[in-house]
Structure formats: C-alpha cells, structure tokens
Amino acid sequence: MTALTRIGAVVRKEFIHVGRDPRLLAVVLVMPVLQLLLFAYAISFDVRNLPTLVVDLDRTPDSAAYLRAYEASGLFHVVGRADSIAAVDSAFDRNEAQVVVVVPAGFARALTGNEAAEVGVFVDGSEPNAARIAQTYSAALNQLYGRKLAVAWASNQGLDLGQSGAVEPRLRTWYNPERSSSIFLIPGLMVVVIMIVTAQQTAVTLVRERDQGTAEQLLVSPLRRVELMIGKLTPWIIMAFVDLVVIAIVGLTLFHIPLRGDLLVLALGATLFVASCLGIGLIVSAVAPSLDTANMTAFLVAFLPAFLFSGFAFALDQIPPVLDWLSHAFPARYMVTISRGVFLKGSGWAEVWPELAALAAYALVTLAISVRLHGRRS
Amino acid sequence: MPEAPTPAADPDPGPAVRTAGLTRRFGDVLAVDGVDLTVDRGAVFGLLGPDGAGKSTLIRMLATVLLPDQGEAIVLGRSTRHQADEITGRIGYMSQRFSMYPDLTVAENLEFFATVRGVPRALRRERADRLLDGMGLAEFRARQARHLSGGMKQKLMLAATLMHEPELLLLDEPTTGVDPVSRREFWRVLADLHRARTTVVVATPYMDEAERCTAIAFLDGGRIRHQGTPEQIAALIPGVLVEIAGADPHAIRAALSGLADAGSPHVLGDAVRVVWSGPASQAEGQLRGHLAAAGLVVTEIRPITPDMETAFAVLAEAGR
C-alpha cells in the first residue's frame, strides 16, 4: 500500500515533468502523427503514372497503336511527344520524364515483314527504385503487346492460335493486393515511433536525476529502486499506448489499413515491446555519464536499429546476413512482425507466439539489468 | 516548528552518530582518513574545515549515499553499510548543491518528497503550510523551484528534508553562498529544531557559525584535528588571548613578533591580537613595556574570550 503511494508520487511527478516541457510534449504528441503523415504521404514507395515522353519516328498506325498501349496501361503517363532522340536528354535533365519510349522508323515495316521490331525504352536511372519498376513494367508491356500481335497475325492467316502453348501465370498479391506502401509502412511505423518515444526519453530520465542531485535525495528515502523504475516507466507506457492508438486510428480511417487479426495479441505485443524499449532506455540512462551521451547512445541503440533492422523500411531477407543476425538483438523486428501479422495477415496467438515470447524475455532481461545498474550506492 | 521525535521508538538510545576509523578514498585522494566521531542526541554538531577537508564526503557517508572503504558508521543505532534501509526514513540529508526538481513548484517538491518518505496525506498539507510559513516561503508555494533565489532554494531544501520530521539532520554547507539575512533565518530554524531535540550535523566553512553549535569538530586533510564544545576548543589555545588597541596596529604586530611569550600576533580591524603564553597576570605589564620601548602608542590592552575563528587560526598555526 505504501509502496503504491510512493510509486504514485513518482508517476505524478513524471507527468508534471512532461507537461512542463514543451519540446518533450511535441515529441510525444505531435511527432508520431507528423511522422505518420510524412511516411504515408510524402515518402511513398508506390510507383504509378511514371511521366513518359514518347518519340514516334515511324509515324504509322502501327506505331501509334503500340504507343497507345503505354497510355492505356495506367502505369505510364504520357506527358509529351517529341520528334528526335535529342529530346531524351533534355527531358531527363529537366525532370519532365522518367521514361522515354522511342519507336524508330521502320517499326511498322518490320512487323508486317515478319521481322523483330525494335523499340527503344530509356529510363532515368537517377532514381533507382522508379527506374527498376519502369523497366519491369515496360518489359511486361512489350511481352504482352508482342503476344497480342502474334495472335492478330495468326488470325489474319486464318489460324486460331487460341491459348495453345501459352502459359499464363496469374499472380495475386495477398494481404495487400494493391501493394500500397502505406498499408505496408504504417504497422511498422508504429513500432519505430514507439521506440523513439520510449527509449529515447527514458534514456535521459535517470541521467537528469543524477545531474540534478535528486537521485541522491531519492536514495535517502524509503523509495526502493524497483518502485522508482515502475514509477518512471508507467507514464511512458501510457503515453506510448496513446500514440499507438492514435496511429492505429489514423491508419485505419485515413489510410484504410485493414485490421484482420487479434487485437489482444497486438496489445500484449505492444506492452512487451514498450517494456523492452524502456528497459533499453533505462540501461542507457544508468550507464551514460552525461545527458549528451545518453541521447547519442539512445539514438544508436534505439532509433537506428528500429529503422534499419526491424524490417520497417528494408526487408530483412535482403540485408546482409550479419545485419540480419544482428537484428535479432533488438526488439523492433519482433514487434514489426507482430504488428504486420495482426494488421495485415490476421495473425493470432498461434502465428506470433515466438515473437511474443522473445519480447517477453527481452523485456524481463533489460528491466532486470536496468534495476540492478541504477542507484547502486557507490 | 517540528514536534520532538519520539526517542522511545528507538530501542538504542545511544549517540545519534558514531563512527570508527571511517575512511573513503577517491582514486588516489584520501578524502576521509580514519575518522572517529561521536555525535550525541540532540546536539547541533558543527563540522568545520576548509574546502576539500572531507566534510561533504563524511556527511554523504553518514547519509548512506556513499559507502565507506574502511571503518564503520553507526547512524541512529544502525550500520550505514548493512542497514541503510532502516536509516534513510529517519534522517534528512541536505546536499551542498541544490537538489530539488527545478520544474516542480515549491509545493510540488515538498509534496513529492514527503509522499516518497511516507508522510500521510493529511499531515503533508499541514506540515508544508507550517514550514513554508515559518520560512517565509508561503507566497512562493506555486513558483517553480528554478525561479527561486539562492536563499529561498536553501530554505526549500531544508523544508523538504524536514517534511518527514527526521530524528537526525545532515546538512552539507547549507548556508554557503547565501546572503547574511537568509543565513540568520536559516540558523533560527536550526535553533528551533535544536529546541525540539532534533540532532543536527552541519558542515560549514564559516567559523562564526561554529559559535552556534553545541559541539564541533575541525576537519582538515580528511582527519579530525580538534573536537569538543566551543569552550573546549577555545581552551586548547595555549595561553590567553589578548587584544591590543593602538595608533598603528601594523607596527604593533611587527614589534610583537620579537617577543617570545606573544604567539600568533595578527591584526583584526584596528586591533592586534596575540596569544600570551607567559603568566596571565604579567601580560599587560610586559606587553606595555615592550611596546613603549619600541616607541609605540598603546591605548588599551585587555584579555578576551577567543572566538572560533581566532581559535582555529591559532590552532592551525600551532599545528604546523
């Protein structure tokens, strides 16, 4: 009972600290939403409507039909027409187009003459992601167009080629059929935001108590170390959950991300994950000699791994094995798996229990270490 | 002011503090070197000494925030090394530097530390009001601690350490850097506490504050050089302290340095003080004769009771 009163006093005090620090308030309340909007709107990994310049040097119905196929695809957006290859350079230079399609003279003649017709597709490689996708799109488009021509030619010859010999893969993307990047990003973004809000902030809290001399005052009191830790963590757990709920609501309503799985699993995972982050923050805080060091270290052990090693932005099976191995040492990757699983795949206990177990172990170990490290009488 | 702590609650009515061979080093520096100290219950015990003498280190060990390398400290009958948890709730420790939450108000700081130290809700408000009124802080209760002046900060810290009515107060240079008016007020509060039978250990570099203590220890280089009541310390001076008033104190001081029985001559204001180690009855006659022979005008010669400042200056000189 008295222990609860003491913890309550610490909780209240921590909330007062946050309430009186406008910068901290901004980090806790504004930054998550700002990041959400930034990532979801500005940094889109989607590639659609690639600005395309077409150069028709053939000027035949055939070439015109071929170029119409680009416009019809919806992937390319024809922004202009030009009459010479020289236009390619200036179009790229002025960022007017990312793709230039050049139909050389003799295109129609080659088609009717039963030869292979050649077209030039130029891609601006200064944006590799878009370039790679443009390349894939145009290759697919050409293949499709070639097949259409073959069928047309065969029927002209009185043959029904039908579907003979053609293998047509029917690709389907599950969980995120439109492959919209915001649906992919938001469940991961939650994890990054929580990591920043919790680990970064708790990392400085004990250092500040030491700097202010209040840590010594707390030593001369019946307040136990565990009670101090619980009191310090509780407000951050609450604030992290507020952030989580806000991001989830914005994601569900504004970006129409689905929520297919077990909400309870997500909540439990989030609790364990928040506890892990706070544990990391407290360890940093107990060890760091100054506020600056604490901030820097928290950035290195919390923010960067959350960003790089969580699968949030970079697929973990595509990073070097050493880094993949390293990513297991940080809690973010487990939480990203849980978050995406629950939101997109409808995962429940059966699917994500290994991640839940990993987070539980992580939280226990880090919190135990931080309690041991802090407040030793020297 | 705080009610008297109930001594009956403590099964051990021994001294408030007892240390034996207490030693602490920081790297190569021996901060506290084999200190044996006894502080009786109800005493106002002054720890005196220059900067770097080891006062803070000693007090922090008594407050349980620092562990000794060697030796033992028994505070309120409990070992600081093994029973710190049984001590912390019964003492109040005020560190040398300001150690309240700067972004919390005066009232919030008091409320927080009192709650953490187990003061029941009903008593918290009542004591906070009483302490803030008594220290003239009442009108600043809603002010954030960082916006207080130096003297007010010290009073806030004292109030925070008094909220749980500790049996023993450990104060580390509470009046350093505080204006004279606030210093006097601060000591008035300590006097009230003393009347209420609270034991006070106070470190200070100010010798005039030593006069207000019931017992003092002079610390230098981590060791206790002298210990006792102010009277006992004064009695350690080998001889009587004599004050000589004259037209040219500096010439008088210079003339006296040749006289064997007149030790530690020094100028204080427009008078000269010496420690007369010859027979007390001959002091005035011999000094007058010696100074007249040197052609100096002397208006008055009289024995005085030594103040602490002179006592320590003389003792420090004698020790060298």
- Residue B11, pLDDT score: 55
- Closest residue in B to A13 (Cα–Cα): B112
* DSSP character at residue B105: B
What are B212's two structure tokens? 């207000």
- Residue B292, pLDDT score: 80
Candidates B91, B104, B115: best to mutate against A (most CBs of A within 10 A) is B115
Farthest-apart Cα atoms in chain A, separation: 99
Report the alpha-carbon distance of residue B120 to residue B137 in Å, rounded: 22
Q: Is A12 helix (H, G, I), strand (E, B) or coil?
A: helix
Q: With CA atoms as reference, report the closest residue to B17 among B53, B55, B59.
A: B59
Give chain B's residues under pLDDT 70: 1-12, 318-320
- Residue B12, pLDDT score: 60
Cβ neighbours of B104 in A, within 8 Å: 13, 16-17
B75: β partners: B17, B78
Residue type, A189: L
Q: With CA atoms as reference, report the closest residue to B286 among B319, B247, B239.
A: B239
- Residue B287, pLDDT score: 80
Q: Is A255 helix (H, G, I), strand (E, B) or coil?
A: coil
Give chain A's residues under pLDDT 70: 1, 40-48, 129, 157-182, 316-317, 375-378
Alpha helices in B196-295 (DSSP H): 207-210, 230-235, 249-256, 283-293
Q: With CA atoms as reference, report the closest residue to B222 among B45, B29, B60, B66.
A: B29
Q: Is A122 helix (H, G, I), strand (E, B) or coil?
A: strand
How many helices (H) and strands (E) chain B has is answered by 11, 14
Contact B89 A212 (CB under 8 A): no
Residue A35 burial by CB count (10 A; 0-12/13-18/19+): exposed, middle or buried? middle
Contact B118 A219 (CB under 8 A): no
To the nearest 10°, the Cα dihedral for A90, A95, A96, A98? 100
Number of neighbouring beta carbons within 10 Å of residue B129? 14
> Which of B186-191's residues contact partners 24+ apart within 8 Å by CB, and which partners?
B186/B151, B186/B154, B186/B155, B186/B158, B187/B212, B189/B1, B189/B134, B189/B135, B189/B155, B189/B158, B190/B44
Residue B210 burial by CB count (10 A; 0-12/13-18/19+): exposed, middle or buried? buried
- Residue A160, pLDDT score: 63
Q: Count Cα neighbours of B71 within 13 Å in the Cβ-side half-sphere.
A: 21
Cβ neighbours of B93 in A, within 8 Å: 216-217, 220
Nearest by CB to residue B104, choosing from A2, A13, A378, is A13
Q: Is A297 in contact with A288 (CB distance < 8 Å)?
A: yes
Cβ neighbours of A219 in B, within 8 Å: 64-65, 88
Q: Is pTM, for the whole model, over 0.80?
A: no
Q: List the strands of the sheet with B271-276, edge to edge.
A: B262-268, B271-276, B240-246, B298-304
Cβ neighbours of A8 in B, within 8 Å: 115
